Amino acid sequence: MAAVHERDVFLGFDFSTQQLKAVAVDAELKVVLEDHVHFDSDLPEFRTQGGVHMHPDRLTVTSPTLMWVKALDRLLDKMAASGFDFSRVRALSGSGQQHGSVFWRTGASRTLRTLHSDQDQDQDRDLQQILQDCFSVSDSPVWMDSSSTAQCHALERAAGGALSLARITGSKAYERFTGNQISKMLQTRPEEFHQTERVSLVSSFAASLFLGDYAPIDFSDGSGMNLLDLSLWDWSDLCLNACAPGLRPLLAAPVPSSTVLGPVCLYFVRRFGFSPDCSVVAFTGDNPASLAGMRLQPGDIAVSLGTSDTVFLWLQFPRPALEGHVFINPVDPQQHMALLCFKNGSLVRERLRDAAPGGSWDGFSSALTQTPLGNDGNIGFYFDVVEILPAAVGVHRFDALDNKVSSFPAHTEVRALVEGQFLSKRLHAERLGYAIIPGTRVLATGGASSNAQILQVLSDVFNAPVFTIDSSNSACLGSAYRALHGLVADSGVSFSDVVKKASEPKLVATPDARAKQIYDDMLKRFGRLEERVLQESRPQD
């Protein structure tokens, strides 16, 4: 592979739920372009809300497949109009919302391959016109869909239980996971299903557009289907047969996420001025791409403190469990990553801020500084809405002797919330195989990551330094970095070497010397109390 030149540019796309974004970085990894197309407002003809159609059953959620195609037309036109020089793009990659599926109609591969034609006939036609008859299902199920419960039960039964399925595929059965969606398609719309020659994820579908051919699914996004055997890096026959017998040829073999799939097809060369040598690197899911964009390293944990809180883990020795998701790592297929989602994030922190002395973030922060590490043994669980991890609801407070109490003093309440939220993240991360190792960093992002006192508690609970990063564009940026890495991955260059030049995260907190002992002990109690809370939340017979 030839060296990277000064004028080279690397392009990353992200097909998220609400918009299509692009980021270009130069050889120094500086961002030279950001652009986007917003589905609801820029493509109103598709009548989406938040990029999706919610069906009357309120369980089925889809997006028009052609909307994504048209969004790509529109975005590339916008970039061209802004003077972006496509000829400098040495490689491109991208990401898509995870789990969503695209059903290509029999014969569509022939149409896709016309994008390689050197005849002029298609140059005046946009992608949407060329591909309009290519999909056997026009409304793609997306990750917000939760209509495949029956198929989930059937898959878990076939695998010998939820835990056995998790041990094969990294997750127990989830409605939004693609295998269950494919199974539902086969059962409820057999005619469309039988007209399908290929099933893509949103990521591999998008890569197919640039490639002018079906792009394979990558290991990392493929891990979000309940179909991939993570230990084999291949589809599990047991899961394939349980979801849809004969599915294997419709998926084709999955590939490492850094695979160069081929050059961009001639259509893009002629219409936008791409170089015919521009490489298309396998696309992946938005969460794996974010891990790349945040440049996680072995042992790191990224905590996104938003409306809901999300935790990304770099895992060396995964232990798939009944909670959370384990995926093959997008930057090193020998490694893994995990994803944990917690619904009760910022809204609860804001509710307690309003109740804190002074009703402000200052009051909230000073409550944290005025209370001791470990909160004198007081522990709280604050689930305003039914939590995912654990599946419990309500506010539960315990004193130092594990007695349930109905209230805490105002300052204690604030610390109980923040410590409890972080202890929970550590507990569930460790259950999936996460271990704090020398050099572990906690990378904090999202709204609450601007509060120094909250981050101090985070650092203490994890007994690791906390750094802040801006992750607002991490999936897109991660895709641009992965495009560059794809060019050198085969020669053994690691992803972390490739992204060395990107700006360093900022150190904002280091753990107190007493933290390890206090929180190692507290974590054990927290696990036991969480079990009690879970029991109490279970509906009584």
Angle at which helices 515-537 and 452-462 cross, to 10°: 90
Contacts of 203 (CB under 8 A, 6+ apart): 15, 94, 95, 96, 217, 218, 221, 283, 284, 285
State the binding string over 430-469 for ligand XUL (x if CB under 6 A, else -).
Answer: ----------------------------------------
Angle at which helices 452-462 and 361-369 cross, to 10°: 40
The three state secondary structure string of 468-524 is: ECCCCCHHHHHHHHHHHHHHHHHHCCCHHHHCCCCCCCEEEECCCCCHHHHHHHHHH
> In the structure encoding, which two tokens stand for residue 144, read together?
């917000």
- φ/ψ of 460, rounded to 5, equals -65, -45
61 or 529: whose CB is closer to ligand XUL? Answer: 61
> In the structure encoding, which two tokens stand for residue 293, read together?
């964009």
- φ/ψ of 185, rounded to 5, equals -60, -45
Is 315:496 a contact under the CB 8 Å cutoff?
no
Which window, 241-249, 283-291, 442-450, 519-527, contacts ligand XUL (CB under 6 A)? 283-291
Q: How far is the CB of 426 from ligand XUL (least distance, A)?
A: 21
Q: How far is the CB of 490 from ligand XUL (least distance, A)?
A: 28
141 or 254: whose CB is closer to ligand XUL? Answer: 141
16 or 220: whose CB is closer to ligand XUL? Answer: 16
| 204: contact with ligand XUL by CB under 6 A | no
224 or 486: whose CB is closer to ligand XUL? Answer: 224
Q: Interaction with ligand XUL in 12-71: which residues (CB under 6 A)?
A: 16-17
Is 203:288 a contact under the CB 8 Å cutoff?
no
| 198: contact with ligand XUL by CB under 6 A | no
Which window, 33-41, 64-72, 94-102, 491-499, contacts ligand XUL (CB under 6 A)? 94-102
CA–CA dist 494, 517 (Å, integer): 36
Is 298:435 a contact under the CB 8 Å cutoff?
no
Q: How far is the CB of 385 from ligand XUL (least distance, A)?
A: 17
Which window, 51-59, 131-139, 285-293, 353-361, contacts ligand XUL (CB under 6 A)? 285-293
| 143: contact with ligand XUL by CB under 6 A | yes
Q: Which 8-state DSSP code applies to residue 197?
A: E
State the binding string over 212-231 for ligand XUL (x if CB under 6 A, else -).
Answer: ------------x-------
23 or 108: whose CB is closer to ligand XUL? Answer: 23
Q: How far is the CB of 341 from ligand XUL (least distance, A)?
A: 7
Angle among Cα 447, 297, 319 to the nearest 5 degrees reads: 95
The residue within the footprint of ligand XUL, chosen from 8, 156, 286, 309 (CB under 6 A), is 286
156 or 413: whose CB is closer to ligand XUL? Answer: 156
Full DSSP string of 414-477: HHHHHHHHHHHHHHHHHHTT----TT--EEEESGGGG-HHHHHHHHHHHTS-EEE---TTHHHH
203 or 421: whose CB is closer to ligand XUL? Answer: 203
Q: How far is the CB of 14 from ligand XUL (least distance, A)?
A: 9
Q: How far is the CB of 472 from ligand XUL (least distance, A)?
A: 14
> In the structure encoding, which two tokens stand for residue 84, read together?
């972006």
Size of the site for ligand XUL (CB under 6 A): 12
How do strand 442-445 and strand 301-305 relate by DSSP bridges?
parallel
| 176: contact with ligand XUL by CB under 6 A | yes
| 172: contact with ligand XUL by CB under 6 A | no
State the binding string over 304-333 for ligand XUL (x if CB under 6 A, else -).
Answer: ---------------------x--------
Which window, 93-101, 203-211, 250-258, 489-497, contacts ligand XUL (CB under 6 A)? 93-101
Radius of gyration of the chain (CA): 24
391 or 435: whose CB is closer to ligand XUL? Answer: 391
Q: Interaction with ligand XUL in 97-136: which residues (CB under 6 A)?
A: 97-99
295 or 325: whose CB is closer to ligand XUL? Answer: 325
Of 159, 181, 154, give the one whose Cα is nearest residue 169. 159
Residues that bind ligand XUL (CB under 6 A): 16-17, 97-99, 143, 176, 224, 285-287, 325
